[in-house]
Structure 1
Amino acid sequence: MRIMKVTMLNHPHSIQKEELPPMAMALGFFDGVHAGHQRVIETAKNIANERNWKSAVMTFDPHPSVVLGKKHEKIRYITPLDEKIRMIEQLGIDHLFVIRFTSDFARLEPQQFIDQYIIGLNVQHVVAGYDFTYGRCGNGTMDTLPEHSRGLFTITKVDKLAYDGEKVSSTKIRCLLTEGQIEEANRLLGRPYRITGTVVHGDQRGRKIGFPTANVECDDDYYLPKTGVYAVRMKVKDKWVNGVCNIGYRPTFKHPDERFMSIEVHLFEFDHSIYGEEVTVEWYKHIRQERKFNGVQELVAQIEKDKQSAIKYFQNEAE
């Protein structure tokens, strides 16, 4: 896999056009890097390859609503920035530009944005979704882009991607995650939903009852699925291992003051110490909701059922 160059830009940037190669660039926020986003990015990549340019993506951080004050609660992402960078690199892009979205940047008029961040970065072709907006108050649209281009770059507008008549969108995927509909979310993502985190020490309760778990601590910017039990795969040291995951508040053992969500993964046929390791968890099927049991024996019996459900799921997938 090619190594993607990542450039973090603060406004105003100081890059000179002559410093950069000709590029075909995909523009968007791309939270989730879902199937629709992948179509936009792949289009830019294909055009770059056809014309012997470099392929590029431009995205923004944080979400504009954080700066523009449209939302007061904490913003969580299907793909926080580090995860988004990993996903875009896997698509084989040459250069990623991450623009720090600030109040000053938000005040740029549409023409100023195009002059400084498209023409000024030697972009020869722009690819974006039909609903992409740019400039102050989002006044720039795909309809105004030809005028703002000053004839210095060409444009491809990508129509919406829909499944069963419904637009593939980050908003829809977040709703599906909230409802625990992980298989449908994965269909719209065009890949399994995933998180990346670090294995940390837990209270060893799983090991004591015969089901050792890896406690995964992830960035609190992740938009996590509904609490419950899921069939998952976890990547440990470049190897994927099947398992079953409980995400939630562990009601059977819950301390009254425990308010933090835990992600505990029991891996099948795996018995290695992986504390401190960075791992990736991919989520495949919602098995059941989280619930409180009347005792440890009842919990152990249910975990065994969950494990068998996950094993059966992966066996069916392999056939």
Structure 2
Amino acid sequence: MQVITSKDYNSFKSDNTCLAIGAFDGLHKGHQLIIKRAIKIARKNNYPAAVLSFHPHPLKIIAGKNPPPAVVSRHQKISLLEEMGVDYYFEQEFNQEFAHLRAEDFINNILIDKIKVNTIVVGDDFRFAYKNEGNVDILREMGKIHNFKAEIISQLHASDDRISSTRIRNLLKAGELKQAKKLLGRPYQICGEVIHGKKRGRKMGFPTANLKLETNYALPPEGVYAVKVNIDQQEYIGAANLGYNPTFNNQEISFEVYLLDFKKDIYGKRLCVDLIEFIRGERQFKSKEELIEQMQQDILYTRQLLC
């Protein structure tokens, strides 16, 4: 998959593009339905299959607010789109100039002139352009005028409620990992770079990988989780601790992963951690010995569950 940022749109030379458009901030099953439809049309007609999305989050630019916690990072979004079979990912820089672009200009100057769309696929709640003046009806009308097709996909529901990134964030906050997985179509995953920590785990015989998270993730409750970890496209089993390590009075939240039967040096590596099952909540222990005993039980449970 080729990633093309908005400053490089002119480098795109194909035509008859089948394009899915959206924020796709969770790449959940609802988003996947839209993208898979675009890919299906593209493959049937031998068109390029493409996705257009936005970076940074529009809220940061329009309202000057911090966006909601992320369900996927930019890096994860790109990887997932590539796995789905997308040929081109157009990443539109969301800045003040773009935020003030009128609907007709967005369609003419970007979708037609630069991306050369033949077919556009969006969700039925799709809004675009200055003050959200553009909607699916305008997209259809502009399609008739400029000779492109606009296909509108009805929102996907689960348990009589619409699948959305907000709903997934709420499930994660409540610790409902299995329900979040159903809506995502995959385990919830947190990625980050392994950095040097305080090395307390190593001194206790349980060396952990301390992760610097690559985005402001939506986080589940603090505690210990059974996890699967991807390192350099290899999968490993582990137990992860999310929280403040109250036994040691930490002031900042940390995410540390103990990998079972693993001895390699992975400082500086990017790890992606699938949260499989909640084991227990975080609590303060009276001594290091009591903590070590509990960690042994956590690891034994993880091994029984995932191995």
* TM-score, normalising length: structure 1: 0.90
SS of the residue corresponding to residue 211 of structure 2 reads strand
Distance 1:261 1:227 in 2: 9
Q: 1:98 pairs with 91, 99, 109, which one?
A: 91
Is the Cα–Cα contact under 8 Å of residues 196 and 278 in structure 1 kept in the other structure?
A: yes
Q: Is 1:68 aligned to 2:65, yes or no?
A: no
- Are residue 9 (structure 1) and residue 6 (structure 2) matched? yes
The answer on whether the counterparts of 1:35 and 1:189 sit within 8 Å (CA) in structure 2 is yes
CA distance in 2, matches of 1:173, 1:74: 15
Amino acid at match of 2:89: L
Question: What's 1:153 paired with?
Answer: 148
The answer for the alignment partner of 2:167 in structure 1 is 172
- Pairing 1:23–2:20 present: no
Letter in 1 for 2:101: L
Q: What amino acid maps onto 2:233 in structure 1?
A: D
Residues 309 and 169 of structure 1, relative CA distance in 2, 3 Å threshold:
same
Any runs of at least 4 consecutive aligned residues in structure 1 with deviations exceeding 6 A, and if so which? none
Q: Which residue does the alignment assign to 2:276?
A: 284
Alignment of 1:292-303 (within 5 A): 292-303=284-295
Match of 2:31 in 1: 37
Q: 1:99-126: CA deviations, max 9, x gaps?
A: 0111111111111111122122211001
Paired with 1:53 and 1:293, the residues of 2 have a C-alpha distance of: 60
Alignment of 1:242-261 (within 5 A): 242-255=237-250, 258=251, 260-261=252-253
1: CA distance between counterparts of 2:137 and 2:14? 27
Query: How big is the shift at 1:16?
Result: 8.0
Partner amino acid, structure 1, of 2:90 = F
SS of the residue 1:39 aligns to:
helix
Give the helix-richer structure, 1 or 2: 2
Which of 206, 209, 225 is residue 201 of structure 2 equivalent to? 206
Report the RMSD for the aligned CA atoms in angstroms.
1.8
In structure 2, what is the equivalent of residue 129 of structure 1?
123
**Counterpart position of 2:81:** 88
On the 8 A contact 1:119/1:152 being kept in 2, the answer is: no
Which residue of structure 1 lines up, in the alignment, with residue 267 of structure 2?
275
**What is the one-letter code of the residue matched to 2:83?**
Q
How many angstroms apart in 2 are the aligned matches of 1:16 and 1:195? 33
Aligned residue among 109, 115, 119 for 1:116: 109
Q: Which amino acid aligns with 1:175?
A: N
Residues 45-64 of structure 1: pairs in structure 2 closer than 5 A: 45-64=39-58
The size of the alignment, in residue pairs, is 305
Task: For structure 1, list consecutive stretches of 5 or more residues without a partner in the other structure.
Answer: none
Change in 2 beyond 3 A, CA 1:151/1:21: closer
Are 1:192 and 1:283, in contact at CA under 8 Å, matched by a contact in 2? yes
Task: Tell me which residue corresponds to 1:231.
Answer: 226
Distance 2:196 2:74 in 1: 26
Contiguous gaps of at least 5 residues in structure 2 = none
DSSP 3-state at the match of 1:140: coil
Identity of aligned residues (%): 36
Cα deviation for residue 222 of structure 1 reads 2.7
User: How far does residue 151 in structure 1 lie from its aligned partner after superposition?
Assistant: 4.2
TM-score (norm: length of structure 2): 0.94
